[in-house]
Chain A
Amino acid sequence: MYNKLLGDKNNILKKLQNIAPNLSSENCREDASVIEYPNRYNGLSTICVTKSGFSITKKVEYLQPAIFKLLDLSPKDCLEDDSVIEYSNKYNAPSTICVTKISFPFTKKVEYPQPAIFQLLDPSINFLILKIENIIVSYEQLPVSYNQVMIKGALRYCAKLLCKIYDSSEIIVKVKKFVNLIDGLNQQCEVPTTFSHLDLTYIENIFESIEQEASKDGYLPKLEDMSL
């Protein structure tokens, strides 16, 4: 996605190397929409370009002003507040850049607000995220096992995914079905320890198909490519 907007990866890397000399292709992880690099505060920085259903949105997290200039993101005619700069992109749609403060050793992340239209399109998303959180809590009561970790991990991924979806996507329907399938599964075992012995391969397979689709559509990388 960012290739379209910011040029190819090598070009971006070359520019970034001016202020982050230790940056190389090796220490940059790339997936469909995210590049990460170590910044001068020894923290991890991310440039992330995401797609929304009605326009193209650029979201740059932990961006330092220097990078802003290097990437020619036209700071002229920008509206600026504490952390967000808005400007018109080449598609004539409003784009936003988030500039966050870095407080070493941990970075403070300023979340990009989702477009208001998203709320109008599907008001049940917040409810679904809340439901996921409650299910995760209910699974925490079970003894630690692969099944328990798998269910909680899959649900956390789904919650993160829902926060990244900016349009009404078919994947939301899949996630809803998945969440409904899992909800109450832990109640089926009279003895909590027997939950670890259930064969939940089919649930894992459904989750993998969600992962696959999320990564294909550029919402979230697959679990194996996720980082802290």
Chain B
Amino acid sequence: MMISFSEYEFVIYDANCIIYYCFKTTLLSRLGTSVVIDSPRYTDITRDLTEYLIAKKIKIRTILAVFEEGNKDTLSMAIKQRITDENLRRELGLARGEKFPEDIEYKLNKKIRQKVTKIQYENWFELDKSYIPDQILLSKIKIFFNERKVSAERKGIPSQNDMCLILYSKNTTTPLISNDSHICNFREDLEKKDYTHKIVPLKDCVKKNLI
């Protein structure tokens, strides 16, 4: 599947994409080695994609509420998920069942949060602080998801911020790149019902697919 964003001036990143892009740091293990802490696969995909977009002079944008959600929740959840990985823990020299020290987890959060905060000052990034979705559309999209709640029960429905982001794509005629299954699972329906312009799953944006 080939993907091209050439016709666009902007693309929209969801919170996961922003966090994955910034989620790369190192930590000294107990064995004295430097261990890379990132989100395997997704950090590489978002880095390649962002480089590709920068090279094509296509800017990345998102809305303030999503950016803040990324900084407040998504980031910490991504780190928590990563530091519970047994292979990584072994690399760091942690014993089986040993608790990851809370202060070091905070240190990782702080480091990556600084990177996320910095991104808003990049010239290829734009943070829309003024976007307010149309309330009628927002109500309609809530109904859309509630109607599918039963089938989506296992996977959940998008947060209010994600719903705003879906509508933001429609309002700005800009593709939304997302790794959120709550969004991607319904992308065809959302596009068909004109709730959004276009949704592109992040996993499809691997380097070899970008033209």
Contacts and interface: CB of A to CB of B under 8 A. Distances in A.
A107 interface: yes
Contact of A153 (B73, B75, B109): B109
A153 B106 contact: yes
A38 B77 CA distance: 32
B103 A226 contact: yes
A29 B93 CA distance: 18
Nearest to A106: B95
Max chain B C-beta neighbours (<10 A), residue from A37, A42, A223: A223
Contacts of A197: 72
Contacts of A60: none
A106 B28 CA distance: 15
Contacts of A148: 76
A129 to B, nearest CB: 14
Given A224-B107, A228-B27, A146 B102 contact: no
A120 B110 CA distance: 37
A105 interface: yes
Interface in B97-154: 101-107, 109-111, 113
A20 to B, nearest CB: 10
B72 A146 contact: yes
B155 interface: no
A226 B30 CA distance: 12
A36 B28 CA distance: 11
Nearest to B94: A228
Nearest to A41: B31
Given A43-B31, A44-B31, A155-B102, A144 B107 contact: no
Given A146-B75, A197-B72, A154 B30 contact: no
A146 B109 contact: yes
Interface string A215-228: 00000000110111
Nearest to B92: A228
Interface in B30-60: 30-32
A124 interface: no
Contacts of B113: 146
B200 to A, nearest CB: 27
A106 B29 CA distance: 11
Size range of the interface on B? Answer: 20 to 34
Contact of B102 (A42, A145, A152): A152
A46 B110 CA distance: 25
Contact of A226 (B32, B77, B107): B107
Contact of A227 (B28, B72, B77, B94): B28
Contacts of B102: 136, 149, 152-153, 155-156
Nearest to A153: B106
B13 to A, nearest CB: 19
A22 to B, nearest CB: 9
B76 A149 contact: yes
Contacts of A27: 32
A162 to B, nearest CB: 13
B31 A146 contact: no
A95 interface: no
Contacts of B80: 144, 149
A194 B183 CA distance: 23
18 contacts: A44-B29, A145-B73, A146-B72, A149-B80, A150-B106, A150-B110, A152-B105, A153-B102, A153-B105, A153-B109, A223-B106, A224-B111, A226-B103, A226-B107, A227-B27, A227-B104, A228-B28, A228-B29
Given A44-B30, A143-B73, A153-B106, 14 more contacts: A36-B32, A37-B32, A44-B31, A144-B76, A146-B75, A146-B109, A149-B76, A150-B106, A150-B110, A153-B103, A155-B102, A156-B101, A157-B106, A224-B110
Interface of B: 27-32, 71-73, 75-77, 79-80, 92-95, 101-107, 109-111, 113
Interface of A: 27, 29, 36-38, 42-44, 105-107, 136, 143-150, 152-157, 160, 196-197, 223-224, 226-228
- Top 3 A-B pairs ranked by shortest CB distance? A153-B106, A38-B32, A156-B102
